[in-house]
Amino acid sequence: MTNFSELYNKYVDILFAYGCRMTTDRELIKDCIHDVFVKYFTKHEEGKVSNVGSYLVTALRNRVNDEFRMLARMSDEDASTKRTIAEETDDMPDFEKLEAEMNAQRKLMDNIAKLSPRQQQIIHLYYMEQRKYDEICNIMGINYQSVRNLMHRSITSLRKMAIT
């Protein structure tokens, strides 16, 4: 990732969903995610982070657990009423599965980059911007059937690249 905001946008939803498995306190999750990104930004500058996705997930888990420990010490509540990551091992997403999904996303993006510029544009408009075919016709300046044909060729090319 070349841009920190792109990195944030790519991982924030994944991290938030992961955090929701640890606690129902949405504000705590948001605070912890922001802390993780600040820490990543500091470590990234030092060149210490090699796998961004793994680092962010692990850092979020540790940060939320640190918050639980701190809250347990500060409050009179029984710490057992807090839902921690250790208690939720059955609900946790499989780390290898998460890693495989990120690798698949990376491969898909690499394959899209191999398409022609017009094929990349139609994939972006349809899937990323969620435009309808009629809108794509107007944006690209081609008729409806040409949009359908271009989309078909683009998807066929991506399937062939995925097989190899």
- pLDDT number for residue 108: 84
pLDDT band at 152 (very low <50, low <70, confident <90, very high): very high
Residue 20, both tokens? 């929701």
What values do phi and psi take at 20, rounded to 5?
A: -65, -20
In this prediction, residues 41-61 reach a mean pLDDT of 75
For 55-93, the pLDDT digits (tens) are: 888 888 888 888 877 776 665 444 444 455 444 444 445
pLDDT at residue 30 is higher than 60: yes
pLDDT band at 114 (very low <50, low <70, confident <90, very high): very high
- pLDDT number for residue 163: 86
Cα separation, 120 vs 101, whole angstroms: 21
pLDDT at residue 142 is higher than 90: yes
CA distances to 17, 21, 48, 53, 59 from 26, rounded to whole Å, are 10, 11, 29, 21, 17
In this prediction, residues 87-114 reach a mean pLDDT of 73
In this prediction, residues 35-56 reach a mean pLDDT of 75
Residue 76, both tokens? 């009179």
pTM of the model: 0.45
Cα separation, 78 vs 55, whole angstroms: 31
